């Protein structure tokens, strides 16, 4: 049976994250939330992230500002300390002990825009775990159609790490229906992450990274 790991990026958002938590809780499912530091610092952001953690979800770092992909920053204009380090400090004890970091950029495409050489070195030195993905159904631009693309990805892969967004786009209106359909189809929904989506684990390079780092 295919496996599915749910991840939610770019939040927290006080209302939408709360709704996602309700949907997951009703089904006794656990997920990972990759939060943006600036969103966490907004009113209501931290409270909902704390509820997520208390409910057993994992919280990861998705940068401080989510503005410029780390692989596209000009050398000498390195934002690593802020985008990774300060965001992690802001997370504080919300953060998963393995220091989960998900790079961003490019509408979900994997490529050398994701990390700079100094970002890679920083992640290794500070013992982060880099969490990639293998399904981006583009829920942010197609709040209804993402469900069908996600279903296809789950059916086509042994273990799908799905990237969704707990943002008020309307896409999360379809989360419960999507999950119930997958459960009815026998898909196993787990919190764990497949090793092939973790090229760096607590600072140790375990998989290929060349394709993720700017040359």
From the CB of 185, what's the least distance to Zn ion, in Å? 28
- The residue of the chain with the least Cβ separation from Zn ion equals 104
From the CB of 28, what's the least distance to Zn ion, in Å? 27
What distance in Å separates the CA atoms of residue 179 and residue 20, rounded to the nearest whole number? 11
When the beta carbons of 94 and 187 are compared against Zn ion, the nearer one is 94
When the beta carbons of 10 and 160 are compared against Zn ion, the nearer one is 10
Question: Which is nearest to 115 in space by CA: 131, 104, 129, 126?
Answer: 104
From the CB of 123, what's the least distance to Zn ion, in Å? 17
CA distances from 70 to 119, 144, 191, 202 (A): 7, 30, 27, 19
Q: What is the dihedral of CA 96, 136, 201, 64, to 10 degrees?
A: -50
Which chain residues interact with Zn ion by CB under 5 A? Answer: 9-10, 104
When the beta carbons of 58 and 187 are compared against Zn ion, the nearer one is 58
From the CB of 182, what's the least distance to Zn ion, in Å? 23
């Amino acid at each position: 049976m295919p496996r599915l790991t749910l991840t939610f990026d770019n939040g927290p958002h006080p209302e939408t994250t709360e709704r996602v938590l309700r949907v997951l809780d009703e089904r006794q499912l656990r997920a990972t939330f990759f939060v943006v530091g600036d969103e966490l610092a907004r009113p209501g952001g931290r409270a909902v992230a704390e509820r997520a953690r208390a409910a057993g979800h994992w919280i990861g770092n998705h940068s401080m500002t989510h503005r410029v992909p780390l692989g596209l920053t000009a050398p000498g204009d390195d934002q690593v300390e802020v985008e990774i380090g300060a965001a992690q400090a802001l997370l504080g004890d919300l953060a998963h002990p393995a220091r989960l970091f998900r790079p961003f950029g490019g509408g979900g495409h994997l490529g050398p825009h994701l990390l700079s050489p100094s970002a890679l070195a920083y992640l290794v030195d500070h013992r982060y775990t880099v969490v990639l993905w293998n399904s981006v159904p583009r829920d942010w631009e197609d709040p209804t159609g993402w469900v069908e693309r996600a279903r296809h990805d789950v059916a086509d892969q042994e273990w799908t790490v799905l990237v969704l967004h707990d943002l008020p786009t309307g896409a999360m209106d379809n989360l419960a229906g999507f999950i119930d359909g997958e459960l009815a189809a026998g898909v196993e929904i787990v919190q764990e992450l497949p090793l092939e989506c973790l090229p760096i684990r607590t600072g140790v390079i375990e998989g290929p990274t060349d394709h993720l780092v700017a040359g």
